[in-house]
């Protein structure tokens, strides 16, 4: 897991930057602005929470921060869906970002499960 830490730090930072760029490209009025602002907040949070998790004082603290990142990723997925379903952004334009959201969710779920299982042994 130590080898993946820097990679996941980089990957979550790149994810956040993609979210920031998407936010910057969207109109700053109406419902799309509200949705994009929520996405900006939730999409930049997982990287920060992962970095906090890497400095956790206990397994429980680590899992709590990982699960917080998971919640933010799920929320980001929801806002991305609303951008598509609301007709604000064409689905093909967001496909790779949605895919990355799902991959990060899978990674964080696995980290949380593995950490909880280690604790039980």
Q: Which residue has the tokens 């799902």?
A: 102
Model pLDDT for residues 22-32, shown as the tens digit of each residue = 999 999 999 99
| pLDDT greater than 50 at residue 67 | yes
The closest of 94, 113, 90, 114 to 102, measured between CA atoms, is: 94
* pLDDT-derived band at 1, boundaries 50, 70, 90: very low
For residue 103, pLDDT over 50 is answered with yes
Domain boundaries, the chain: 4-120
Over the stretch 35-59, which tens digit does the pLDDT of each residue have? Answer: 999 999 999 999 999 999 999 999 9
118 — pLDDT class (breaks 50, 70, 90): confident
4-120: in CATH 3.40.50.300:
no
Give the sign of the dihedral formed by CA 19, CA 24, CA 27, CA 31. Answer: positive
119 pLDDT exceeds 80? no
Q: Is the pLDDT of residue 79 over 80?
A: yes
**Percentage of the chain surpassing pLDDT 90?**
90
């Amino acid at each position: 897991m130590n080898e993946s830490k820097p990679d996941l730090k980089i990957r979550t930072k790149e994810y956040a930057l993609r979210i920031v760029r998407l936010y910057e490209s969207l109109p700053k009025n109406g419902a799309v602005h509200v949705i994009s602002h929520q996405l900006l907040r939730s999409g930049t949070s997982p990287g920060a929470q992962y970095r906090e998790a890497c400095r956790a004082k206990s397994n429980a603290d680590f899992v709590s921060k990982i699960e917080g990142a998971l919640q933010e990723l799920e929320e980001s997925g929801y806002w991305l869906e609303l951008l598509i379903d609301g007709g604000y952004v064409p689905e093909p334009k967001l496909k790779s970002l949605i895919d990355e959201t799902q991959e990060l969710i899978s990674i964080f779920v696995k980290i949380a499960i593995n950490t909880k299982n280690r604790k039980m042994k």
